[in-house]
């Protein structure tokens, strides 16, 4: 396991901090890798709301996810900025994996203004104790989305949220970057 594989680090942190996830959101389903990771981590009890604006991505994810797990996933062909139209529960985990669908039309990709709206809703919906993970691929838009969302995260109320940023330091400047937000259980928690 290499330290520059941020997906491994993301999954390690999820497993360490969340033991029992009943409701999760994959805000960018793509080929389904994050959803599959969540299913592997949390088993047949988890319900995952999985969003993608491309039917092609949903079809690809459906064929990658084992048929016995399809009942655990609500596939939603809509933008993640409307998560509150579909999810009424408080999710313990929300993942964003930004950019474009690998091996497809690079013009269809996440946009900072819609991702920001989704993230704003996500921090409010998240169950206390829960996590939001955001994987950034900065090369696709000269880091515009990364800069805008990082600023949103930077000013989150520190008594309600803790956020970390994992940024490979001796890699290509376009190497992925990972931000993880934790919503605290108690407002007066100090650790």
Q: Does 141 bind ligand SAM (CB under 6 A)?
A: no
80 touching ligand SAM, by CB under 6 A: yes
d(CA 110, CA 173): 20
CB of residue 88 vs ligand SAM: minimum separation in angstroms? Answer: 19
**Nearer residue to ligand SAM within complex by CB, 52 or 141:** 52
CB of 34 to ligand SAM, least distance (A): 4
Contacts (Cβ under 8 Å, ≥6 apart) of 16: none
List all residues 6 or more positions away from 177 whose beta carbon is below 8 Å from its beta carbon. 6, 135, 136, 138, 146, 165, 166, 167, 168
Contact 90, 183 (CB under 8 A): no
Residue with the shortest CB distance to ligand SAM: 30
Per rule CB under 6 A, is residue 91 in the interface with ligand SAM? Answer: no
Which CB atom, from 80 or from 183, has the smaller least distance to ligand SAM?
80
Locate tokens 């330091």: which residue?
169
> Count residues contacting ligand SAM (CB under 6 A)?
22
Compare residues 99 and 130 and give the one whose CB is closer to ligand SAM: 99
Determine the interface stretch with ligand SAM among 45-53, 149-157, 158-166, 175-183 (rule: CB under 6 A).
45-53
Candidates 6, 18, 24, 30; binder of ligand SAM (CB under 6 A) is 30
Contact map string, positions 106 to 125, toward ligand SAM, x by CB under 6 A: --xxx---x-----------
Among 31, 72, 133, 182, binds ligand SAM (CB under 6 A): 31
Given phi > 0 = left and psi -120 to 50 = alpha, else beta, which region is 103?
left
| Composition of the chain by helix, strand, coil, percent to 5 | 40, 20, 40
| Ramachandran assignment for 87, one of left (phi > 0), alpha (psi -120 to 50 degrees), beta (any other) | beta
Sign of CA dihedral 52, 57, 134, 40: positive
Footprint of ligand SAM (CB under 6 A): 28, 30-34, 51-54, 57, 79-81, 97, 99-101, 108-110, 114
């Amino acid at each position: 396991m290499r330290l520059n594989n941020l997906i491994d680090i993301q999954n390690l942190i999820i497993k360490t901090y969340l033991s029992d996830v009943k409701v999760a959101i994959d805000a960018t389903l793509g080929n389904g890798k994050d959803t599959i990771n969540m299913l592997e981590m949390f088993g047949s009890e988890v319900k995952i709301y999985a969003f993608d604006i491309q039917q092609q991505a949903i079809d690809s994810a459906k064929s990658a996810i084992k048929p016995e797990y399809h009942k655990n996933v609500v596939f939603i062909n809509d933008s993640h900025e409307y998560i509150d139209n579909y999810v009424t529960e408080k999710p313990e985990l929300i993942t964003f994996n930004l950019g474009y669908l690998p091996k497809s039309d690079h013009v269809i990709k996440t946009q900072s203004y819609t991702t920001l709206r989704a993230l704003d809703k996500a921090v409010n919906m998240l169950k206390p104790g829960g996590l939001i993970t955001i994987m950034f691929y900065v090369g696709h838009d000269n880091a515009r989305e990364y800069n805008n969302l990082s600023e949103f995260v930077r000013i989150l109320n520190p008594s309600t949220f803790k956020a970390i940023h994992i940024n490979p330091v001796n890699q290509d400047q376009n190497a992925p970057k990972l931000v993880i937000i934790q919503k605290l259980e108690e407002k007066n928690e100090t650790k």
